[in-house]
Structure 1
């Protein structure tokens, strides 16, 4: 039971992490200190997409699921298991990534303009 809880908690944190990556810059308009964690999260997002490095949250979720006797995530990890082909069709991956980049850049532009 505890292992399953660890795996499910990692999944929830992963979803929150992705949500923060998409809209954290807008939250920084209200709470300025959030820009720094958002920059780090966005940098991790870029590095993980470009290099294909496995996210530590994926490792934790797979570990918890394995020890709970459940199947692990698909070979592509969290995104391939819960996002691509579920929330949007896989053939739109690059369009979705572009949308997230535009969303993040818009939030950063707004942050800079609001600081003036």
Structure 2
């Protein structure tokens, strides 16, 4: 039971991390100290998408699910939890590249704005 609860909590953390990667730059506009946390997280998120790296959180979650007597899943977090909600088809390398570009674009725009605000202060 504890392994299942921990795995479920890890799913929530994983989703929160993905949202932070995507939109954490907006939080940096309000809370400047997050500038030390968000760029590394965003770079990691882009690297996972661009280079098709395995995410350690997915491996950890699968390990916890196996310890709980449940089946793990193949692929990554996005393919297993997010992708089926958005699209019924499988995740292709081209789409992953597009997702990485979306992360890059959002963060470049936010940090350019932050840089402009900083220059005017």
Give the structure-1-normalised TM-score.
Answer: 0.86
**Structure 1 spans left out of the alignment, 5+ residues:** none
Shift in Å at residue 34 of structure 1? 0.7
Q: Is contact 2:10–2:61 with CA below 8 Å preserved after alignment?
A: yes
Aligned twin of 2:4:
4
Give the distance between the partners of 1:114 and 1:21, measured in 2 at CA: 21
**Structure 2 spans left out of the alignment, 5+ residues:** none
- Verify: 1:115 aligned to 2:114, yes or no: no
Q: Is contact 1:25–1:38 with CA below 8 Å preserved after alignment?
A: yes
Q: Is contact 2:21–2:45 with CA below 8 Å preserved after alignment?
A: yes
Tell which has more relative contact order, 1 or 2 (C-alpha 8 A, sep 6+): 1
Partner-residue secondary structure (3-state), 2:84: coil
RMSD of aligned C-alpha atoms?
1.9
Aligned twin of 2:48:
48
- Verify: 1:79 aligned to 2:82, yes or no: no
Q: Is contact 1:6–1:60 with CA below 8 Å preserved after alignment?
A: no
Q: Is contact 2:46–2:103 with CA below 8 Å preserved after alignment?
A: no
How many residue pairs are counted as aligned between the two chains? 115
- Verify: 1:99 aligned to 2:98, yes or no: no
Give the distance between the partners of 2:49 and 2:118, measured in 1 at CA: 30
Q: Is contact 2:27–2:34 with CA below 8 Å preserved after alignment?
A: yes
